């Protein structure tokens, strides 16, 4: 099956549901910090933070949302040595004692999240780390699971999941393709 799996309304509903699940599981937003994994995890983290602040007005969506660059923690640097190093931006209070929610677009093998966990460890000592993803496509290579999932999309290994977001691509959509390159980042 190829084509659009999620449209803009579906993505919006999934993010709203995930925001509520995060609040329910953590008994509110007091200790929450959201860290988006660039590229597309970052705008998703900002959207989740905005939805959380809609429900919990004391949650400062801007101050409690950051970016986590995992470039130097990846285990495939020898295969792709030329990478731009991004910026890690943490809330001013840091992450010590916080409930850190890592946010990414597509959860696949688990290697990106393993790198993110290593990066978090170097930034502080959170109370706990949770994972929110828009799409879980399966094919895990590491024993890591998501706490919050927008949509489980069973895929063949040869298929690709392309997440397109308004902030980076001009539209919101999740597209499944046959594995041929569809251009650019966001395909996993």
Quote the crossing angle between the two packed helices 8-26 and 41-55, to the nearest 10°: 60
Please tell me the chain's helix, strand, coil percentages from 3-state DSSP, rounded to the nearest 5. Answer: 30, 25, 45
* Structural domain boundaries in the chain: 8-75+88-155
Alpha-carbon gap, residue 148 to 131, rounded angstroms? 6
Structure tokens at 84: 């731009």
3-class secondary-structure state, position 83: coil
pLDDT at 183: 45
Separation CA 150–CA 13 (nearest Å): 9
Task: Choose among 112, 103, 95, 89: nearest CA to 150.
Answer: 103
Those residues with Cβ within 8 angstroms of residue 78's Cβ, 6 or more apart along the chain or in another chain: none
Contact of 124 with 93, CB cutoff 8 Å: no
pTM over 0.85: yes
pLDDT of 82 reads: 67
**CA separation for the pair 88, 122 (Å, rounded):** 11
User: Average pLDDT for consecutive 10-residue bins of the chain (188 residues)?
Assistant: 92 98 98 97 98 97 97 81 83 96 97 97 98 97 97 95 97 91 55
- Predicted local distance difference test score (pLDDT) of residue 177: 95
**pLDDT at residue 67, rounded to an integer:** 98
Give me the architecture of the 8-75+88-155 domain, per CATH: 3-Layer(aba) Sandwich (3.40)
Given this model, what pLDDT does residue 181 score? 55
pLDDT at 75: 85
The C-alpha angle with vertex 90 and arms to 89 and 91, in degrees rounded to 5, equals 130
pLDDT of residue 184: 45
pLDDT at 180: 62
């Amino acid at each position: 099956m190829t084509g659009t799996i999620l449209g803009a309304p579906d993505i919006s509903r999934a993010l709203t549901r995930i925001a509520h699940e995060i609040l329910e599981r953590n008994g509110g937003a007091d200790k929450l910090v959201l860290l988006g994994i660039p590229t597309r995890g970052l705008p998703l983290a900002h959207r989740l933070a905005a939805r959380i602040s809609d429900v919990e007005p004391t949650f400062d969506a801007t101050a409690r949302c950051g970016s986590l660059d995992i470039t130097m923690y990846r285990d495939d640097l020898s295969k792709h040595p030329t990478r731009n190093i991004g910026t890690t931006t943490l809330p001013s209070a840091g992450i010590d004692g916080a409930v850190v929610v890592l946010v990414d677009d597509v959860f696949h093998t688990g290697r990106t999240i393993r790198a993110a966990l290593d990066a978090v460890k170097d930034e502080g000592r959170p109370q706990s780390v949770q994972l929110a993803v828009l799409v879980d496509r399966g094919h895990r290579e590491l024993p890591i699971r998501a706490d919050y999932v927008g949509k489980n999309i069973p895929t063949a290994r040869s298929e690709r999941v392309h997440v397109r977001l308004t902030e980076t691509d001009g539209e919101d959509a999740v597209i499944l393709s046959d594995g041929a390159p569809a251009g650019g980042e966001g395909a996993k």
